Every structure is written in structure tokens, then in C-alpha cells.
Structure 1
Amino acid sequence: MVDRASPPDWIVEQPVLTALALLGVALGLLVVLPYLQYVLFGIVLAYILLPLQRRLEEYLRPMIAASITIVVAILVILLPLIYILTVALRQTSQLVTAVRNGGVDLETIERTLAERGYSVNLTGLYESYQDAITSGAQGLATGVLDIVGGLPGIAIGLTITLFVCFALLRDREQLIEWLYRVVPIDDAIQRELFAELDQLMQASVISNVLVAAIQAVLLGVGLAVLGIPAVVLLTVLAFVLTLLPLVGSFGVWLPVSIYLVALNRPVAAIGLTLYGLLIMVSDTYLRPALIGRTSAFNSTIAVVGIFGGLITFGAVGLFIGPVVLGGVKVVLDISARERADGTAAGVGPATNAESDSDPADDP
């Protein structure tokens, strides 16, 4: 590592250069901000693909390895993801249309529930909240149309994602060395920060997503076997809910089980309930095994990070939000430790000097 002055000395000795550096960072953020979620998606994608890149680099040059990795990402990740989301949006649109056109047979559901001793006036409830339901359905339909109308912008954003991912895979070593040089933090602290952030990314991006994907796919298979409509939409919803440690897939299978009871399919409802409980039990073993015990990644950080990340960063905030909050906790912990170490180092010599000059110790 190159020797450098301590951060306070460097800032004081080069005030103009410091101001220019801060101005450059601010302007760079303004340029990146319109496509921030796509840049973050590129970072997440590069982290996911890094093991494949390292394996290919054992036989190929970094440029060729990164190119092959990007092609694999397009074929294995992006295209299936786009297809799944497209089907989910189409099923959402069909559901909205059915609700708006009265395609849901509320009278049959009421009659079935009444036969089982549950008197519920669903028709009255629907009429009471018809305006709210209609406005909500129109909002969903408008959202779908906005997504379709924004396809050119999405295409540009995904292009940025692929370029960011490619650059990070090919030039990651140079980027790390550059960060060591330009960030005014001791190298040992930087290495510790990188290690902690790597654990957070592993927990949030790899392990947590893998747990959610496994449970969502299992539930989707069960729903498909039972002939439940809008299976893809429900599977995507189960994936999102399973990312939340305190919610899980029961937010999908429980309402569907009630729906099956209302349709006079009690055996299917009981089967889905037992199957859903089995999936929830598997969460008890999958999550600790894959996520492990990362101190900066707990339930509170995960829940707040996911919801806050969704609002701040968009869809990619599902993964980045917990990493950001966990990273803040790590930085504060390291800062407090370094401050305590500095205080102890400052107090120790003074105490020893006073002890050495104590007249009572003189002969």
C-alpha cells in the first residue's frame, strides 16, 4: 500500500483540492441519480455472478470471462425474470378487470360460507367499498400501463445495468486498489469494512433471496397442482413476502386456503394449509443454514431495510436496503471502537507520566 498522510492533515493541507473532490463527487451523484436503481442492480448482479467470473478467469482473460458471464446472466437471470414479471403483470391486469366487471361470484362464496356456519355479507361489503375498490383497480391498471409506456426507459436502464456489471466483473481488482488510494481511511479499517459489507451482501443478496426463492417456488408448485388461478402472480407475491423474516409465505397460502373453503373445496384447503405449514417449518432450518449469524443483519434491519429500500431505491431496494442499514451499523460500530481506542491511547501515557512523577515514589 502507498503511504499517505492522515485524513485530517490531507484535508487541511489541500483545502482547494478537497473542495474540488467534494464538488466532483456531488456532480457525479447528480449524473448517476436518474438511473441509481439500475446502477445498484448492476452491483447486485455483479456480486451474484462473481463466483462464475472467478472460475472462468482460471482459464480465460478477464475481458472474455466477463463477456461470457454477462451472456449467461442475460440468458439465465434477466430473460426469465422479465418473462415471469410480464406474466405476473398480465395476471394482475386480468384480476383487476375481473373485479371491475363483477367477475367474482360473491353470492356463491356467501352461500358456501353460510353452509359452514359463517354469515358474511360480502355483497354488502363490496357495494359499501365499491368506489374504493374501483379506484384501487384503476390505480393498478394505470400502473401497468405506466410500466408498458416506460419500456424504452427500462431498456436503457437495463443496458446501464449490464455495462456496470461488466465493468465491475472485469476491473474489480483495479477498483478495489483505487478505493484504497482515494478513500481517506486507514487500510486496515477499509479491509474490515469490505469484509463486513461482504457478509451483509452474502446474507441479504444471496442467502435471503435464495431462501425466498426456494419457498416461493415450492408454494407455486403446490398452487399449480391445486389449479389455483394467477399462480405466477401469487408466486411472485410469496417471494416478496418471504423476504420479510416476520411475514413469510403464509400471507399467500392462508388467504388461498380460505378461498378454497369458500369454493367448497375443503380437502384442497386442508392440503394447502398442511403444505404451507411444512414450508414455514423449512424456513426454520433454511434461513439459519444459509444466512447464518451476521450481527449486522437481524430481523429489524431486514424489515425496515426492505420497506425503506423499496421506497428509496425501487425494486432493487429489496436487496440493497438491508445492506445499507447494516452497513451504517457497521460503520458506527467501527467508529465507536476507534474513538474508544484513541481515547484509551491518549489517556494511558498521561496516566503513566503522572505515576512516574509522583513525589511519593521518590526516595
Structure 2
Amino acid sequence: MADRPEPPAWAVEQPVLTALALVAVFLGLLIILPYLQYVLFGVVLAYILLPLQQRLERYVRPMIAASITIVVAVIAILLPIVYILSVALRQTSQLVTAVRNGDVDLEMIESMVAETGYNVDLTALYESYQGTITGGVQGLATGALDVVGGLPGIAIGLTITLFVCFALLRDGDRLVDWLYRVVPIDDDVQRELFEELDRLMQASVISNVLVAAIQAVMLGAGLAILGIPAVVLLTVLTFLLTLLPLVGAFGVWLPVSIYLLATGRTVAAAALAVYGLLVTLSDTYLRPALIGRTGAINSAIIVVGIFGGLLTFGAVGLFIGPVVLGGSKVVLDIFARERTGGSAAETGSEPPTEDAAAGSGATADGDG
């Protein structure tokens, strides 16, 4: 690649073109910002689907491979969602019908709860909190209407997600080459940035999704063996909760264990509690095995990045947040290194090599 002029000097020599470039970037950001979370979702989805795309490209052209990959992803995502929504709507309809027909026996429920040592007067509770319950139901109804009213916007956003994902799968290599040409940063620094961001994405996206999927399947299998109803719904809920730090599968198996204990299934409750604890503890071994012992992302960055990302970017912030925080650290490390003329190892942006590790070990042995 030909040597490029120093950015500051070139910008001074070409002020009009520099101003036009800045205006173009600004206008582009204005257009992207309203759908930023959908664009980021497309980036994350493309990163997850990239291995499938690369395998398909061995047999077909990139465009056909990207089309097949998108179709597979849509089917894999939409079918579970449609199934879960249909089950939830059917069960809700059955509950509403039962309440209207008077099939729900409050006295029977009270007697079952009383057997656990708690005396609850459901009728009195309903009368005492009728206003709160009514307001909550109205709030749910209003929220449902808002969701329905926002469906056109969601449909547009998801369409943008699919097109972004398709473009990245088909032309991702050309996009990287374009960034190398356009961004006024030294090629070696750009290459290092891309490598570090790739490690962060792998740790935040691929590893977390795989850990959540493994734990969800493990707990779902246990729930199915114990004959727990709505296993599919609970398995999907486990997958979603496992993506969140400090929650995990614990948020599913503990309430279900309490439910089993309350219904008199003591052995099943104890078995699920022990098995659920094992599933939760498996996180300690699965994440290091998938992310790597070096740890591409600090645990504090993961926690703050996930919750901050959720508030900033919405649901996609679950994956983007840690990458943004970790990427900020990498950029500052490289900036400090370039400013002081140090090495990558001094700023921590490059993991120590095996020779360096062996040398430090030999030094420690010598000191001992």
C-alpha cells in the first residue's frame, strides 16, 4: 500500500475537501442515528453468521451464500418467536376464559397455599388492591397497543437489519479494505485495532451466546425430565437471562423449585435445585473455555458494558456495550503508546508472547 501523507498536513493543504468530508460524515450520522440500534443489530448478526457464510462460500458465490445464510437466520429466529407467542396467547386466552366462566376456584388455591404454612385470603387481597391490579392490567393493555402501533417502525428497522447483515456478509472484506484506505491512521495501527476489536466481539458475542445456549439446553432438559409445563418458554427465558450478568439460569430454576415445593413435589424441587446450581456453576468453566484464559474483556467492563449498553443502544447493547467499553480502552492504550513511543506490550493492548511468559517465569525461578 502506498505511503499516505501525514493527515494534519494534508488536511491543511486541502481545506475544502476536508470540510466536505466532515460534512458528509456528519450528514451520514444524522441519517443512521434514528436506526442505530438496528444497524448495530445487523453488525452483530453478521458477525454471528460469518462462520456459516464462509463455509457456504466454498461451494457457491458470496451473494448466494449470503442469501442462504439470511434465510436460515430468519427461519431460525422467527419460528421460535412465533411458536412462543402462539403458546403464550393460547394460555392467556384459556386463563381469561376460565376466569369468565368461574372455573378458577380461589378457595382451592387458598387451601393449597395454606398447606405450605401460609394463610392467604385472595379475595381480600383483590379487594384491597383492586385499583392497583386494574391499573396494571390497563397499563399492560396500553403497552400492547403501543407495541402493535409501533409494528411498522419495527418492520422497517428489521428490514434495515437484514440488509446491513446481508451487505456485511457479502462485501465484508471489501468494507475492511475501504476502511484501510479511508481512515487516516497508519496501516499497522488499523490492523491492530481490527484484531483487538475482533477479539472483543468474539468474547462478547460468540462466547456469551454459546454459553447461554448451552446452559439453556441443559436446564431445559432437566425441566423436561421433571415434567415441568411450558418447557420451551422456560428454556428461551433461561437463554435470555443467562446473557445478563448477575442473573443467569438462577432466575428460572429457583422460582420453579419454589413452585414444585409449594405444590408438594419435594423430591423434584430438591433435584431441580441441585441440578440448577450445577448449571449455574458451569458458567465458571464454560466462559474461560470459550473466551480463553487470558480474558479479552475484564469482568467489570462486561458488567458495566452490558447494563450501560442496554440503556444506550437497547437490546443490542447487550453485545455492543462491552465491545464499546473494551474498544475504548484499546484505543486509549494505542494512543498512549503512539504518543510516548512505547511498545504494545507496555500499554497492554497486546497479549504477552510465549517467549515473554517463559522469560518472566525463568526470572521468577531465578529470584526464588
TM-score by shorter chain over 0.5: yes
Q: What's 1:334 paired with?
A: 334
Q: Compute the displacement of 1:43 (Å).
A: 1.0
Instruction: State the Cα distance separating 1:87 from its structure 2 match.
Output: 4.5
Match of 1:158 in 2: 158
Determine the C-alpha separation between the residues in 1 that align with 2:168 and 2:210.
Answer: 23
TM-score, structure 2 length as denominator?
0.80
Residues 69/129 of structure 1: CA separation in 2 closer, same or farther (3 Å cut): same
Q: Aligned residue for 1:255?
A: 255
Q: How far 1:305 sits from its partner (Å)? A: 1.8
Report the more deviating stretch, 157-166 or 123-132: 123-132
Shift of 1:168: 0.9
Task: Find the counterpart in structure 1 of residue 271 from structure 2.
Answer: 271
1:113 aligns to what SS in structure 2? coil
| Secondary structure of the structure 1 residue equivalent to 2:264 | coil
User: Number of residue pairs matched?
Assistant: 338
Give the equivalent residue in structure 2 for 1:358.
none
> Residues 196, 293 of structure 1: CA spacing in aligned structure 2 closer, same or farther, 3 A cutoff?
farther
Would you say 1:10 and 2:10 are equivalent positions? yes
Asked if structure 2 preserves the Cα contact closer than 8 Å seen for 1:93 and 1:144, the reply is no
Q: Label 1:52 to 1:301 Cα distance change in 2 as closer, same or farther (>3 A).
A: same
Instruction: Decide whether the 8 Å contact of 2:203 with 2:296 is kept in 1.
Output: no
The match for 2:78 is: 79
Q: Secondary structure at the match of 1:222?
A: helix
Question: Would the alpha carbon gap of residues 58 and 136 (structure 1) be closer, same or farther in structure 2, given more than 3 Å must change?
Answer: same
Change (3 A) 1:127 1:15: farther
1:221 counterpart letter in structure 2: A
Instruction: Give, as a single letter, the amino acid of the residue that structure 2 aligns with 1:146.
Output: D
Q: Give, in angstroms, the shift of residue 160 of structure 1.
A: 1.6
The answer to whether the Cα contact below 8 Å between 1:87 and 1:232 also exists between their aligned partners in 2 is no
The 8 Å contact of residues 43 and 165 in structure 1, kept in 2 or not, is answered as yes
- What is residue 244 of structure 2 aligned with on the other side? 244
Counterpart residue type for residue 188 of structure 1 = D
Identity of aligned residues (%): 71
- Higher relative contact order structure (alpha carbons within 8 Å, sequence separation ≥ 6): 1
Q: How do 1:189-268 residues align onto structure 2 when only pairs under 5 Å count?
A: 189-268=189-268
Cα distance 1:315–1:95, how it changes in 2: closer, same or farther (>3 A)?
Answer: farther
Q: What is the distance in 2 between the residues matched to 1:285 and 1:13?
A: 56
* Counterpart residue number, 2:317: 317
- 1:256 alignment partner AA: V
Mapped to 2, the partners of 1:313 and 1:253 lie a distance apart of: 29
Pairwise CA distance, 1:327:
1.2
Residue 61 of structure 1 and its aligned partner are, at CA, apart by 2.3
The alignment partner of 2:115 has SS state of helix
User: Is the contact between residue 309 and residue 322 of structure 1 (CA under 8 Å) also seen in structure 2?
Assistant: yes
**1:298-324 per-position Cα deviation (integer Å, ceiling 9, x unaligned):** 322222222222222222222212211
CA shift, 1:243, in A, is 1.6
Amino acid at match of 2:55: R
Instruction: Output the CA distance in 2 between the equivalents of 1:88 and 1:324.
Output: 37
- How far apart are the structure 1 equivalents of 2:87 and 2:32? 30
Q: Which amino acid aligns with 2:85?
A: T
Supply the AA of the counterpart residue of 2:196.
Answer: E
The 5 Å alignment of 1:284-323 reads 284-293=284-293, 295-323=295-323
1:178 matched to 2:178: yes
Q: Which amino acid aligns with 2:79?
A: P
Q: Deviations over 1:10-41 (max 9, x none)?
A: 33333332222222112112212222222112
What amino acid maps onto 1:139 in structure 2? G
CA RMSD between the two structures: 3.1
Tell me how far 1:130 sits from its aligned partner.
5.4
> Structure 2: where are the runs of 5+ without partners?
344-368
Do structure 1's residue 149 and structure 2's residue 149 form an aligned pair? yes
Distance, in Å, in 2 between the alignment partners of 1:168 and 1:340 is 36
Unaligned 5+ runs, structure 1: 344-363
Residue type at the aligned position of 1:41: F
Aligned pair 1:110/2:109, yes or no?
no
